[in-house]
A and B are shown apart, each in its own frame.
Chain A
Amino acid sequence: MTLHHPYDDTLARYAAGRLGAGPRLVVGTHLHSCAECRARVGLFECVGGALLDEAPVAAVRPDLFAETLKRIEGLDAAPAPARMRAAPVSPLDGIKMPPWRSLAGFQWRRLTLPYAPDANVIMLKVAPGQKMPHHTHRGVEYTQILQGAFHDDFGRYVAGDCVEADEEVDHQPMVDSDVECICLAAFDGNLRLRGFIGRMAQPFLGL
């Protein structure tokens, strides 16, 4: 049962195309499994439509329409696209998964998004009973729990949940599921790991 969802303003930014590529991947992964949030994004897309109606009517160069007509000329013969909708794909499909690497009691891998190579996206795999590195945030950390569960001082999070933590959050999550906990995490800013091990780990994670 999903209890934790992205905040409304995060979904609004998603709908507006204003989330960075990393957070967008995490939120998109959440949407893949959460119909409730998909409906909320749909609502914010309506807001986008209303904003487009209200947008200032800009002067466009006079030949823009003629040029556009030329571009669609060759498209007339194109076969009608199939109306059938393909099953929605997870945004994680098609992203290369490098092997897990071990570090200080947990496993991690950094994902490289082909369309946004600079995005900070990692996957963490932590064994039952293990603590995740103690950390604070500079910017916002978006985490989607893919498997297992963990808790921190603020609550308990299970597979399907999406958690946002900002600079006010200083936590050390602890895995409390029977299975390994696997999380997908992306950062708007930099994550600051605390403690000796955390500081050692930081450069390895490339954060």
Chain B
Amino acid sequence: MGLGLVRRSPRGDSVRAVEGTGVTSDELKGLMAAVAQNRDRAAYGRLFQYFAPRIVGFMERNGVSGTDAEEIAQDTMVTVWRKAELYDPAQAAVSTWIFTIARNLRVDMARRATRQRNGAAAMGEPEIELVESAETQTLAVERENKVREALTKLSREQATVLRLSFFSEKPHAEIARELGIPLGTVKSRVRLAMAKIRPLLESER
């Protein structure tokens, strides 16, 4: 069980999605390598088949409309094709890399909408590149596995507040009102959830 998300999935199983779909993290990396090195369209098709519906599902849960979610999914997959060579399997899981692309595109889309309302000139935000230390990079794969394992150990309550802090733009006060619990409880649940994830980082030092 992870983060209380799979419980709502139509498949109804509690197996991690990567395994549940018969696609492993290593297979995704293999498909990325085929796209990067050989511009392999069949491999790209399988990546699309795996990620596009999940990006749409992820975005819809974020409150993005179906049409916009499909646009983000398509733009994300076009970026995957264009930047495939920049993906470094030693640094992150394919899902993590694609998550960051989709996230940036969602932020851009929200800003375009604001600018159109204000009639302001289009202008992009310089992308902040997070350069990890070499030490962090070598352990990145292990970190991915540990994060996934830690997520399965969260209580339902911790999972809910962690998910809300990821999926919703609401401040904690509003999350508290929505869940009908005191603000202090929201904060302590976030802290407890973080406390299960954070040791993963400390152990890398």
- Inter-chain contact B166/A18, CB cutoff 8 Å: yes
- Is B116's CB within 8 Å of the partner chain A? no
Interface string of A89-109 (1 = CB under 8 A from B): 101011000000000000000
Q: In the assembled complex, which residues on chain A have CB atoms less than 8 Å from the CB atom of B111? A: 21, 115-116
Would A49 and B85 count as touching, CB distance under 8 A?
A: no
Say yes or no for A203: interface residue by CB 8 A criterion.
no
In the complex, whether B104 has a CB less than 8 A from a CB of chain A is: yes
Q: Contact mask B39-55 → A, CB, 8 Å, 1/0?
A: 10100110011011111
Partner of A42, one of B49, B70, B136: B136
Count of interface residues, chain B, beta-carbon cutoff 8 Å: 92
Nearest chain A CB to B95's CB is how many angstroms away?
4
Are A18 and B128 neighbours in the complex by a CB distance under 8 Å?
no
- The answer to whether A1 has its CB under 8 Å from any CB of chain B is no
B48 contact set on A, CB distance < 8 A: 65, 68
Give Cα distance in the complex from A48 to B107, angstroms.
15
Interface residues of B in 48-101 (CB under 8 A from A): 48-49, 51-58, 60-61, 66, 69-70, 73-74, 77-78, 81-83, 85-86, 92-93, 95-100
Complex Cα–Cα for A139 and B5 (A): 29
Q: Which residues of A contact B6 (CB under 8 A)?
A: 54
Which among B49, B82, B107, B111 has the greatest number of chain A C-beta atoms within 10 A?
A: B107
Q: Which candidate, A75-83, A128-136, A147-155, A192-200, is the interface stretch facing chain B?
A: A75-83
Which residues of A10-66 have CB atoms within 8 Å of chain B's CB atoms?
A: 12-13, 15-18, 21, 28, 31-32, 35, 38-61, 64-65
| Cβ-defined contact, A91 with B128, below 8 A | yes
Asked if B104 contacts A17 (CB within 8 A), the reply is yes
CB closest chain-B residue, reference A188: B171
Size bracket, chain A contacts: 35 or more
Interfacial chain A residues near B3, Cβ < 8 Å: 50-51, 54
Q: Does A118 contact B (CB under 8 A)?
A: yes
Query: Is the beta-carbon distance between A47 and B166 smaller than 8 angstroms?
Result: yes
Most chain A CB within a 10 A radius of its CB, from B61, B144, B197: B197
Is B39 within 8 A of A85, CB to CB? Answer: no
Q: Which residues of A contact B (CB under 8 A)?
A: 8-9, 12-13, 15-18, 21, 28, 31-32, 35, 38-61, 64-65, 67-69, 71-72, 75-76, 78, 80-81, 83, 85-86, 88-89, 91, 93-94, 113-118, 139-140, 188
25 residue pairs bridging A and B, Cβ less than 8 Å apart: A16-B166, A17-B107, A18-B167, A28-B128, A35-B133, A38-B130, A39-B204, A40-B198, A42-B132, A43-B200, A50-B3, A51-B167, A54-B5, A55-B17, A55-B54, A56-B60, A57-B11, A60-B53, A64-B73, A65-B52, A75-B78, A76-B39, A85-B131, A116-B114, A140-B171
